[in-house]
Amino acid sequence: MKIAISLLIIVATFLFMEFVAWAVHKYIMHGVLWTLHEDHHVVNHDSFFQKNDYFFLIFAIPSIILIFIGHENLTIGFFIGLGIALYGLAYFLIHEVIIHRRLPPPSKTKSKYIKAIRKAHKVHHKNQGKYNGVNFGMLIVPMKYFK
């Protein structure tokens, strides 16, 4: 597969994952699997891990399978798997490190984009319940949070 097409598949998959993550967050995490996500909104500060961390596997397993199956012949599945994995890495860095600071962030930021992401997520967490949530995405931020 040509390099340009391979990169296009990776980037398209990465971008598509934002919409997948939004839908999973809104309809599954705040829906049928709220029991796993609830401790992310009502945090037990005595524990580093949360049941919510299991969602990592929901995204990682398909990525690993696609990369493994497609790695020998560099099939389209391999590049889709890489796009999912890169989104997972971005999610971890932005959500766990920069937003929730579960690991120390690299430094303070002056980035308006990062500040907007943090504001939108803070508003999402104001509602500690299953219903009436807002801002379910991670990378796409409503313009009002840039002000």
Give residue-wise pLDDT tens across range 46-77: 777 888 888 888 889 999 999 999 998 899 99
Q: Quickly list H helices, the chain.
A: 3-23, 34-41, 55-70, 76-91, 112-126
pTM to 2 decimal places: 0.87
**71 is a domain residue:** yes
Amino acid at 97: V
**142 is a domain residue:** no
**117 is a domain residue:** no
**86 is a domain residue:** yes
Domain count, the chain: 1
Please give the residue range of the domain that contains residue 54: 3-109
Amino acid at 102: R
2 phi, psi to nearest 5 deg: -65, 150
| pLDDT over 80 (residue 83) | yes
Give the separation between CA 82 and CA 25, rounded to whole angstroms. Answer: 21
Please tell me the predicted confidence (pLDDT) of residue 108: 79
Confidence of residue 11 (pLDDT cuts 50, 70, 90): very high
3-state secondary structure of 69: helix
**138 is a domain residue:** no
**131 is a domain residue:** no
**129 is a domain residue:** no
Nearest to 78 by CA among 137, 15, 7: 7
**123 is a domain residue:** no
